[in-house]
A and B are shown apart, each in its own frame.
Chain A
C-alpha cells in the first residue's frame, strides 16, 4: 500500500493541509479560513486535501489520456471546479437555513419583508454562483465560501429597500461564521456523480452554442473536442471512480505547524515550528534557495537556510503585526473591496502615495484623509503595498540580507502588487538575484511539515517526560 504523509499549517488567517507521497510530491492540498477552533480548521483542511488527493490519483491514472486527448484535459479541469460547486451548494443550503433562523429571532416589525427579501436574494445569487463555478472556473480562484457569498450578497443588499439594509447585513454577519465553522463531511462518490451530471448537462447543451466574438480559437478547439467526446470520458472515469473513492489514503505520519500548532490534537513530537517548515518546504521546491521571505496573516518571517534546507537564522516581526496579511485585510475592509481585488487595483497606480505610518489603525485614518483630499484609490493602495514590503525588507536585512536565491512564500505572495515591490526592492538592495514564487506558496509551511513527517524527524518540545521533575514530587 502506498504511504502518504500529512502536513498541517495552522495560520492566524487560514489553515492549510498538504498530503505528499513517498517521493515528496504534493498529491493533495486543502485550505480553509475557518477560525472556529484549530481542531475544526485542521479537520476541514485535511478533508479538503483528501478530496484533492483523490482527484490527483484519478488524474494520475488517466495521465496518458489527459496528455493525448484535449477532452480529457478539459473534463478533468471542469470536474474539479464543479465538485467544488457541489460542496459550495451544501454549505449554501446550510447558510440559507441559518439565515432564516437568524431572522426569525429578530425583533424587527418588518420581519416578513426581511424574510421575503432574503429569499429573493438567495434565489438571485445561487444561479450566479453556479454559473461561475460551472462555466467560469471559479473553483480555481481559491476563494473562500465567505468571500464568494458576501461579495454577491452585498451587491443585492445595496439594491434592496433602505429599511431592510441593517437587518439583512446583521443576519449575514450572525450567520456566516457558524456556517463557515461547520465541519461538513461529504460523500466523495456522491459529489462526483452529481458533478458528472452537471457536466453532462453543460456539454450536452454545447451543441447549440454560438461562437462569440473575442474568445480564443483554442477555447473552441477544447470545447469542440469535449462536446463530441464527453460520453467517452465519462465512461472511462466511471471505470475508475469507485476504486478511487474507496481507496484508503493512508496517512502514515503527520506534522502540525503554524501559530496554532500547540493547540493541535497531535502528539507533541508531531509538532514543529513554522519557521523550519516554511524553510524546508520552500527549499524542497527551489533547492537553491538560501533566503526565504514568508508573509503570513500575522507574522512576517525572514529565514536563512543552508544547502540542506535547514534554518541557519531567522527574524520575525515583533510587537506589531502591521505589514502582515491582516493589514491587507483591514485595508480591504476600509476600501470596502475584497482581499483579492487589492493587488490588481494597486497595479493600476501611476505613482505610489507615501503612507507615513506602518501602524494598521493609523494607516486606516491616513487612507480616509488621502481619499478626502482626492488622491486616487490605486495610488493609495500602491503606497500601502509598498509600506508592507518596506517592513519586510527591514526584517530581511536584520536576518542577514538576501544570499543567492530568494523564495517568497505565504498567502501574501499571491498578491501581485506585493510581488512587484518585493522584486523591486530586493533588486535595489541586493542586485539581480533569482527570485522564486510558486503557485503553491501559501502551502509551503504545510509542505515542509509533511516532508518532516515523511522523514519522521523527531523534534523535541517540552513534553511531560523531559520536563524537569519537581523535587517535591
Chain B
C-alpha cells in the first residue's frame, strides 16, 4: 500500500471544502460577497451564512501559518511593531501575516473584513485583537456581543434572553446594513437543522474512541475532524456529507480492528489511552504527535476539540428556537464553562473512554485555557486516582516548544504509566 492510499475520501472532501472557501474569499469582491472575521469559540456560522457572508477565522490562519513554518517570521514582524513578547501568539501571528500582505494558507490573498464579529467574550484577548484590527481596517464594522460566563454552571433563561436581545438589536440590524440583505429567519432555521445533523455526527465520531483499539486519535487527528464544523461549514449540507463519510470510514476501521492513522501509517499497538487538556502546539505538530504515537499512546478524548462547541452532553442547535439556539451555542463553548463543569466533563471522558492517564499541555500565551489547569489536574488526580502529566509549550511561537524537554517529560510520564499498569496487573493476579 502506498502512502497515497492512506488519504481517505473524507480527507479529500475536507481539502476541497477548504480550498473552495479560500478561493471564494480571494474572489469575494467579484462574487459580491461581504467578509466577516470572527473567532471559533461562539462562532455564529449559521447567521453569517444567512447573510451570505464569507467567514475568516484569524486563529485558524495563525495555526495554519505555524504548521507551514511561517509563524516565526510573522510573530517577529508583529513584535517589531510594538506587540509585546507576552501577547497571545495567535494575535501576533495574525497581525504579522496581515502586515506581510495577508496571504492565507492556500497562497491566496485574504480580503479585508467588512465585519469584525465578536460573539464570544470569555477571551479578553479577542476584544483587544479586534480593536487592533479595527485600527488597521477603519472601514470594517465592529459588532460585539457580550457572552455571559456560566458562572453558576448553567445557562439561565435570563442569560439567553440577554443575548437574544443583543442579536435582535445589535447584530442583525448591523448585518442587514452591511450586506443589504434582509434577515431571513426561515433560511437561518434551515442552516440550524443542518447544524444539528452535523453535531449529531461529530458527537458520534468522537464516541468511537470508546472502542479498543480506538479507531481514531481524538486530539492529533481530532483537530482535523473539527475543521469543517468549526470553520464556517456548520449549517451546510457539505459538512453533513463530510461527517457521514468520515463516520463511515471510521466504522470500517472498527470492523477491521484498526487503530488510528498517523503520519507514518497505521498505529499498530494501542498501549496507553489518554485524555488531553489544552490546545496542541502547532509549530512542531508532527514531532509532538510522533512522541505520542511512538509510545503507542492514543488520545481518546480532548478538551481542545470542544472549543467550537460541546456536544457530548446532549446540547444541539434547535431550529425551532433559532436565536435562542445561537445564544446557547455561544455560552456553551468549552472555555465558557466554569472550572467545575470542565472538571466534570473531563472526568466523564476519562471514565467513559476508559483512559489510563490525563495530560495537560499548558500554553504559554493562552490565558483562557491555562487559567485553572493545575487545579483541574489536581482535582482529577485526587478523585479518579489517574496518573497525570503536565507539559508546557505554545500555540504558534516556535521559541516556546522545547522538543527535548517535552520528550523528556513525556518519556518519564509514559514510564510511570507503564509501572502503574504493571502494578495494577500484579494486584489483579495476586
Given contacts A319-B402, A398-B374, A471-B266, contact A459 B418 (CB under 8 A): yes
Cβ-based interface call for A16 (8 A): no
Q: How far is the CB of A324 from chain B (nearest CB, A)?
A: 13
Contact of B405 among A313, A318, A462 (CB under 8 A): A318
Say if the beta carbon of A311 comes within 8 Å of chain B.
yes
Would A468 and B293 count as touching, CB distance under 8 A? yes
A400: chain B residues at CB < 8 Å are: 378, 381
Give B242-278 as 1s and 0s: 1 = Cβ < 8 Å from A's Cβ atoms.
0000000000000000000010111111010000000
Of the candidates B266, B374, B378, B390, which one forms a contact with A468 in the assembled complex, judged by CB atoms under 8 Å apart?
B266
Judge whether B95 is part of the interface by a CB distance below 8 angstroms: no
* A446-473, CB < 8 A from B: 459-462, 466-472
What secondary structure prevails in chain A residues at the interface with B?
A: loop
Query: Is B123 close to A, CB under 8 A?
Result: no
By size class, the interface of chain B is: 35 or more
Interface residues of B in 277-323 (CB under 8 A from A): 293-296
Pick the interface stretch among B32-40, B146-154, B408-416. Answer: B408-416
* Cross-chain contact of B419 among A274, A310, A466, A469 (Cβ < 8 A): A310
- Interface pair A462/B416, CB less than 8 Å apart: no
Q: Given A275-B412, A460-B271, A471-B265, verify A308-B423 contact (CB < 8 Å).
A: yes
> Residue B128 at the A interface, CB < 8 A?
no
Q: Cβ of A319 and Cβ of B390 under 8 Å apart?
A: no
Pick from A315, A460, A468: contact of B418, CB below 8 A.
Answer: A460
> Are A471 and B374 within 8 A (Cβ)?
no
Interface residues of B in 376-414 (CB under 8 A from A): 378, 381, 387-392, 400, 402, 405, 408-409, 411-414
CB distance from A300 to the nearest CB of B (A): 13
> Which of B266, B296, B392, B415 is A273 in contact with, Cβ under 8 Å?
B415
* Contact of A273 with B411 in the complex, beta carbons under 8 Å: yes
When chains A and B are docked, how far (Å) is the Cα of A24 from the Cα of B92? 55
Interface mask (B6-28 → A, CB under 8 Å = 1, otherwise 0): 10000000000000000000000
Chain B residues lying within 8 Å of A274, measured Cβ to Cβ, are 412
The answer on a CB contact under 8 Å between A469 and B268 is yes
Q: Verify if A237 is at the interface (C-beta below 8 Å from B).
A: no
State whether B416 touches A275 (Cβ < 8 A). yes
Contacts of A313 in B (CB 8 A): 381, 387-389
Interface residue A259 (Cβ < 8 Å from any Cβ of B): yes
A226 within 8 Å of B (CB atoms)? no
Q: Does B187 contact A (CB under 8 A)?
A: no
Does the CB pair B265–A470 fall under 8 Å? yes
Nearest A residue to B267, CB-CB: A468
A471-B392 in contact (CB<8A): no
The answer on a CB contact under 8 Å between A471 and B415 is no
Asked if A469 and B265 sit within 8 Å, CB to CB, the answer is: yes
Which residues between 92 and 146 of chain B lie within 8 Å of chain A, taking CB atoms?
A: none
Assembled-state Cα–Cα distance A462/B271 (Å): 12
Chain A residues whose CB sits within 8 angstroms of the CB of B364 once the complex forms: 319
B-chain residues with CB within 8 Å of residue A462 when the two chains form the complex: 294-295
A residues in contact with B82, CB < 8 Å? none
Residues of A within 8 A of B420 (CB): 310, 312
CB pair A311–B416 under 8 Å, yes or no, is yes
A460 cross-chain contacts in B, Cβ below 8 A: 271, 295-296, 414-415, 418
CB distance from B281 to the nearest CB of A (A): 13
Task: Give the Cβ gap from A428 to chain B, nearest Cβ, in Å.
Answer: 21
Closest to B5 in A: A471
Q: Which residues of B contact A468 (CB under 8 A)?
A: 262, 264-268, 293-294
Instruction: Pick the most buried of B266, B414, B419: most chain A CB atoms within 10 A of its CB.
Output: B419
* Nearest residue, chain B, Cβ from A304: B381
Q: Is A385 an interface residue (CB 8 A)?
A: no
B2 within 8 A of A: yes
Residue of B nearest to A401 (CB): B378
Q: Give complex CA distance A471, B264 in Å.
A: 7
Q: Is B430 an interface residue (CB 8 A)?
A: no
Contacts of A273 in B (CB 8 A): 408, 411-412, 415-416
A275 to B413, CA, bound (A): 9
Chain A 218-234 near chain B by CB (<8 Å), digits 1 or 0: 00000000000000000
The answer to whether residues A310 and B423 also contact, given A273-B412, A460-B271, A462-B295 and a CB cut-off of 8 A, is yes
B22 smallest CB distance to A (angstroms): 30
A313–B2 CA distance with the chains assembled, in angstroms = 42
Residues of A within 8 A of B389 (CB): 313
Q: Are A314 and B378 in contact (CB under 8 A)?
A: no
Q: Given A259-B408, A313-B387, A471-B1, decide whether A276 and B416 contact each other with a Cβ distance below 8 A.
A: yes
Q: Which residues of A contact B400 (CB under 8 A)?
A: 319
Residues of B within 8 A of A319 (CB): 364, 392, 400, 402, 405
- A467 and B412 contact, CB distance less than 8 A: no
Determine how close the nearest CB of chain B comes to the CB of A172; give it in whole angstroms.
32
Q: How far is B374's CA from A274's CA once the two chains are assembled, in angstroms?
A: 23
User: When chains A and B are docked, how far (Å) is the Cα of A294 from the Cα of B383?
Assistant: 27
B91 to chain A, nearest CB (A): 20
Chain A CB within 10 Å, residue with most, of B295, B392, B400, B409: B409
A94 smallest CB distance to B (angstroms):
33
Does B80 sit at the interface, judged by CB under 8 A? no
Complex CA distance for A472 and B294, rounded to whole angstroms: 17
Pairwise interchain contact A276-B412, C-beta atoms closer than 8 A:
yes
Q: A273-B411, A460-B271 are in contact. Are A471 and B402 (CB under 8 A)?
A: no
Q: What is the distance, in angstroms, from B371's C-beta to the closest C-beta of chain A?
A: 15
Q: Which of A311, A461, A470, A472 contacts B411 (CB 8 A)?
A: A461
Contact present for B378 and A311 (CB under 8 Å): no
| Bound-complex Cα distance A115 to B414 (A) | 57
Check if B390 sits within 8 Å of A315, measured CB to CB.
yes
Cβ distance A470 to chain B, nearest Cβ, rounded Å: 5
The residues of B that contact A459 with a CB separation of less than 8 Å are 415, 418
Q: Are A312 and B262 also in contact (CB < 8 A) when A272-B415, A466-B296, A468-B268 are?
A: no
Query: Which residues of chain B are near A276, meaning CB under 8 Å?
Result: 412, 415-416, 419
The verdict on B425 contacting chain A, using a C-beta distance below 8 Å, is: no
Q: Give the one of A276, A461, A462, A468 with max B CB within 10 A.
A: A468
- Binary A-proximity of B336-359 (CB < 8 A = 1, otherwise 0): 000000000000000000000000
Tell me, in angstroms, the Cα distance from A466 to B413 when the chains sit together.
Answer: 18
Measured between beta carbons, the chain A residues less than 8 angstroms from B296 are 460, 466
Note all chain A residues with C-beta closer than 8 A to B295: 460-462
> Which residues of A have CB within 8 Å of B267?
468
Cβ of A370 < 8 Å from any Cβ of B? no
* Alpha-carbon gap, A319 to B295, bound state (A): 24
A472 touches B423 (CB 8 A): no
- Against B, the Cβ 8 Å flags (1 = close, 0 = not) of A290-317 are 0000000000000000001011111110
Task: Type the 1/0 row for A181-204, where 1 means its CB is closer than 8 Å to any CB of B.
Answer: 000000000000000000000000
What is the bound-complex CA distance between A468 and B411, given in angstroms?
17
10 shortest A-B CB distances, which residue pairs? Answer: A273-B412, A471-B265, A462-B294, A275-B412, A318-B392, A311-B416, A273-B415, A310-B419, A471-B1, A470-B265
Q: A319-B402, A460-B296, A461-B411 are in contact. List 18 more A-B contacts (CB 8 A).
A: A272-B415, A273-B408, A275-B415, A275-B416, A276-B412, A310-B420, A311-B419, A314-B412, A318-B392, A319-B364, A319-B405, A460-B295, A462-B295, A466-B268, A468-B264, A470-B265, A472-B1, A472-B3
Can you list 26 pairs linking A and B with CB atoms under 8 Å apart?
A272-B415, A274-B412, A275-B412, A276-B412, A276-B416, A308-B423, A310-B416, A310-B423, A311-B412, A313-B381, A316-B409, A318-B405, A319-B364, A319-B402, A400-B378, A459-B415, A460-B415, A461-B411, A468-B265, A468-B267, A469-B265, A470-B3, A470-B264, A471-B3, A471-B5, A471-B266
